[in-house]
Each structure stands twice: as structure tokens, then as C-alpha cells.
Structure 1
Amino acid sequence: MLSGFLFALAAGLMWGLVFVTPLLLPEYPAAMLVAGRYLAFGLLAVPLALIDRRELRRLTRADWRDAVRLSAIGNFLYYLALAAAIQRAGGPLPTMIIGTLPVVIAVCSNRRNAARDGHYRWRDLAPALLLIAAGIGCVNQVEQASLAPQAMGRYLQGAALAIVALACWTWYPIRNADWLRTHTDRSPRAWATAQGLVTLPMAALAFALLAVADGVGLPLLPSGFDFPAGPRVWPYVGLMAAVGLFASWLGTLCWNEASQRLPTALVGQLIVFETLAALSYSQMHRGAWPPALGVAGVLLLVGGVCWALRLKPVAPGSGANPGAGPGTASARIAE
């Protein structure tokens, strides 16, 4: 439980980088950020694949198809929607919507995975979810109050894109955990590397499509954009390399390690660390301390996570239903 918690914390700290990157590179459209990030991820995965070549040879065609699906939805589509949402609506609104992930994933996985992981009784889980929801509400109340006036149409576009990102990132950890929990003899590091390898041709294809669009004048890039590296070459290359290494490969590795150690309903709540990291990095970018309500929100979020960590799931096959009340002590087991 402790090691799974620490791995999830590390993943959240690294994943928070993806929220501040569009703010650091406002001149770059979302498509360029996605293509650059996953080109870096794919290139980094190539030498890592040499280290894990024995494990990678064990993957079947079905495993590689799963890796492609996970990368296409949980990497490409998710970050395309998120980066576009941040550039249209600013950082606070997408962070608010993505911040509901702990609640959404817990609700989606608690009954779905009860036969495999056991389940948390809703009456036991509810206080943790309420604390997390209250904390997110406080933090985002502060964030919304600081929003600059924007055109309503563009703001609503950002909200819609953030909801698409939420759907992608709800699906990804649940399905990724399905694979990891049914392949406990496989290396989480090799699985992260496999997902990186399949992003390489996807990123190359994305750059090819952008090049064609730029050549024929399709409006996929801003007018006068200096393709392929844009107006600030080295900041773009450096940030893409950093995000590709830390947020994509190392963050995925840490999350895979956590997913093998913790029930899906619990590990889903620990995505709250990504929200906390994103808000912290945004405050650093602004150069301002959060107000008291923001600090209170952080404390509520941490309190909700700590509450969830002390819970133990009801054993699979114990006869209790996910909505049932407390049972005997023997019906509750640690993962």
C-alpha cells in the first residue's frame, strides 16, 4: 500500500507538467504540442526498448493492439483535447474538470472491478469522495475568480474539450490497470516502454499531416507559423524532451507500478496528486501564493486521500454487495 501510494504521488508530480506546458508555449497550437511530446516519448523509448527487449518479446499481437489503443486514447487524444482546452479557456477550467477524475474513476471502477479487486462500501468511500470534491471545489473557486474575461464561445469550446479529455483519462487508467492486473508477471517498465514505442509512428504521422497541411494552406497551424519548430526552437525542443521523459515515460512507469499494487477504485483517487501538482505549477508560473481558500482546498484534498488510504476493500466473493453496509472484520482484507 505504501509503495503504491508513493509511486502514484511521483506520477502525479510528473503529470502535472502537462498542464503548465501549454501556458509556457502559448504560440504553439495543441497539435504541435502533442506531436512534439510523443515524438520525444517515442525516441526515448527506443534505447529503453533495448534494455527491456526480452520482456517486449513476450508481448503478443493482442498486447501490442492494447498498447496502441491505450496510447491513441490515453496519450494522443487526451493531450490534444487538454492542451487545446487550456489554450482556449485558460488553466483553471480544464484543471477543475480534470480534477473530478478521482471521483469519476472511483465511481466507474468500484462496481466494475469488484470481482477482481474487491470493493469499497459506498458508505465507507463517501467521506473520502466528499472531502476530495470539497477540496477541488475550493481550489477551483479561487481559480475561477482569477479568470481573465474571455469570449464565451471560446470559453465553452475549452470546457467541451476538457470534458473530452476527462473521458479519455477516465478510460485510460481503468483499461491500463485491467492489463496490468491480468499480467502480474510482466514488467510495468516494459509496458510503459511499449506504449512509448507505439507513439513514435503516431507522432511521425502527426508531423507528416501537419507538414502537408502547412504546404497546402489548411488551417491546422496559425498563420505565419514557422513549421516545424516554431518561433522558439530551443524552449520547444527542451520542454518536449522534458515532458516526453518525465510526464510520458517515467510518469507512466510510476503509475503502472501503483496500478499493480493498489485496487483500481483507490488508485483512481490518487490521480488527485496530478491536480495538486498542476495547481502548484500554475501558481509558480504566476509568481503568486494561493489565497487561504486555495490552501484549505489543498488540505481537504490531502485529507480525502488519507481517508481513502485507510480503507480496506471487501474481499471478492465475500457475499457483500458494493452498496451493502459494514460486514465482519474477516470480510475486509488488504490488497
Structure 2
Amino acid sequence: MWSGTLFALAAGLMWGLVFVAPLMLPEYPASWLTLGRYLAFGLICLPLAWVDRRALRQLQAADWRMAVRLSLVGNFLYYLALAAAIQRAGNPLVSALIGTLPVVIAVVSNRRNALRDGHLPWRRLAPSLVAIAAGLACINQTEWQTHAQTDASRYGSGALLALVALAAWTWYPIRNADWLREHPDRSPRAWATAQGLVSLPLALLGMAALAAGAALGWAPVASPFDSPLGPNPAGFVGLMLLIGLAASWGGTLCWNEASQRLPTALAGQLIVFETLSALAYGYLWRGQWPSALAATGIALLIGGVIWALRVKPVPADDRVYSQVHS
């Protein structure tokens, strides 16, 4: 339980980096940030693939197809929507919306995977969910007051894109955990590397599509820069390599380790570490301390996670479970 929690914490700390990258490079479109991140991720995974070559050979065609699906939804779609949302509506709103993931995933997983993982009793789980939801509401309220002057249409489109990212990142950890729990003999590190390997050709195809669209003068993908790497090549390449290694590979590896140790419903709640990290990095980037209301929200989030760790799954009998939930 505790080793799984520490792995989830490490994943959250690394995943939180992706919430500040669009703020650090605001002149770069979300498509550039997404493709740059996963191109770097794929390149980083090439030498790692040699280390894990034996484990990767054990993967069947169906496993590689699953890796492609996980990468398309959990990597490209998620970060494209997330980066665009942050650039439109700001880091705090998006962090708060993505922060509802613990509640969404717990609700979905506790019913969906009870026979496999055991059932977390709702009465025992409810206080942690309420605390997490209240904490997110506090953070969202204080950030809405801070950004009340933001253009309404831009702010609204950012919120909608954040919901797209929320849906993608709800699907990803559940399906990823399903595969890992169905293949307990497989290496979580090799599975993280496999997802990075399939990201490389997908990123190259995406860049080729952007280049073709720009050459044809298609406005949505036309390059806003004269230089292929934009106005800050060193910053762009360095940041993409950093989040490619830490957030993409390292975060996925740590999350895979956590997913093999924890029930899916409980692991879903621990994604709150990503929210806390994203908010902390956002406040550091702004050079501000959180307000009293935001600090209260953060305390509620931490309290909800600690409470959730005390809830133990109860084995679910197939017949009894079917009768109760029919």
C-alpha cells in the first residue's frame, strides 16, 4: 500500500511539470508543444528499448495495438487539449478541473472493477471524496476571482478543452491499469517504454501533417515562426526533453508501478498528487503564495488522500455484488 502510494506521489510530482510548460512557452501553439513533447519522449525511449529488449519481445500484436490506443488518447489527445486549455483559461482553472479526476475515476472504477480489485465501501470512501471535492471547489473559487477579467469566450473554450482532457485522462489510467493487472508478469518499465516507442512514429506523422498543412497554407496549422524551432529554440528543446523524460517516461513508469500495487479506485484518488504539484508549480511560476481559501482547499485535498489510504477494499462476491447492483 505505502510503496504504491510513494510511486503515485512520484508520478504526480513529475506529471505536474506539464501544467507549467505552456506558461513557460506561451508563444508556442499547443500542437507544437504536444508533438515536441512526444517526439522527445519517443527519442528518449530508443536507448531504453535496448535495455528492455527482452521484455519488449514478449509483447504480442494486441499489446502493441493497446499501446497505440493508450498513447493516442492518454498522450496526444490529453496533452493537446490540456496545453490549449491552459493557454486559453490559465493554469489554475485547468488544474482544478483536472483535479476532479480522483472523484471521477473512483466512481467509475469502484463499480467497474470491484470483482477484480475488491469493493471500497462507499460509506467509508465518501468522506475522502467529499473532502477532495470541497478542496477543489475552494481552489476553483479563489482562482475564478483572480481571473474574473479574462475574456469570457476564451475562458469558456479553455474550460471545454479541459473537459476533453479530463475525459481522455479518465479513460487512460483505467485501461492502462486493466492491462497491467491482466499481465502481472510483464515489466511496468517495459510497458512505459513501449508506449514511448509508439509515440515516436505518431509524433513524426503529426509533424509531417503540420508541415504539409503549413505548406498548403491551411490556417489552423500554419507556422507562426520563421525558425523551425520557434523564437526560443534552446528553451523549447530543453523543456521538451525534460518533460519527455520526467513527465512522460518517468511519470508513466511510476504510475505503472503504483497501478500494480493499488486497487484502481484508490489509485485514481491518488492522481490528486498531480493536481497538488500543478498548483504548487503554478504558484511558484507566478511568484505568489496561495490565498487562505486556496490553502484551505489544498489542505482538504491532502486530508482526503490520507483518509482514502485508510480505506481497505472488501472482497466482492460475484452473486452478492450482482444482486446489490442490479
Counterpart secondary structure, 1:23: helix
Distance 1:180 1:122, change over 3 A: same
Counterpart secondary structure, 1:220: helix
Aligned partner of 2:55: which letter? E
Which residue is 2:95 aligned to?
Answer: 95
Structure 1 distance, partners of 2:296, 2:237, is: 37
Aligned partner of 1:24: which letter? M
> How many angstroms does 1:221 deviate by?
4.2
> How many angstroms does 1:321 deviate by?
4.0
Q: What RMSD over aligned residues (CA atoms) do the two structures have, in Å? A: 1.5
Aligned partner of 1:161: which letter? L
Structure 2 distance, partners of 1:63, 1:201, is: 17
> How many angstroms does 1:322 deviate by?
9.3
The structure where helix makes up a greater share of residues is 2
Q: What are the residue-to-residue correspondences of 1:71-220 with 2, within 5 Å? A: 71-147=71-147, 149-220=149-220
Structure 1 distance, partners of 2:185, 2:234, is: 41
Which residue is 2:258 aligned to?
Answer: 258
Distance 1:240 1:222, change over 3 A: same
Which residue is 1:24 aligned to?
Answer: 24
Structure 1 distance, partners of 2:105, 2:158, is: 22
Gap runs ≥5 in structure 2: none
Answer yes or no: is the 8 Å Cα contact 1:38–1:244 preserved in 2.
yes
Structure 2 distance, partners of 1:241, 1:56, is: 23
Distance 1:235 1:307, change over 3 A: same
TM-score by length of 1: 0.94
> How many angstroms does 1:155 deviate by?
1.4
Structure 1 distance, partners of 2:277, 2:265, is: 21
Report sequence identity in percent: 66
Counterpart secondary structure, 2:123: helix
Which residue is 2:285 aligned to?
Answer: 285
Distance 1:228 1:323, change over 3 A: farther
Question: Does residue 1:236 correspond to 2:236, yes or no?
Answer: yes
TM-score by length of 2: 0.96
Gap runs ≥5 in structure 1: 325-335
Distance 1:217 1:318, change over 3 A: closer
Structure 2 distance, partners of 1:209, 1:150, is: 33
**Residue-by-residue CA offset, 1:179-214 (whole Å, 9 max, x unaligned):** 000000000000000000000001101111111122
Answer yes or no: is the 8 Å Cα contact 1:109–1:174 preserved in 2.
yes
> How many angstroms does 1:320 deviate by?
5.2
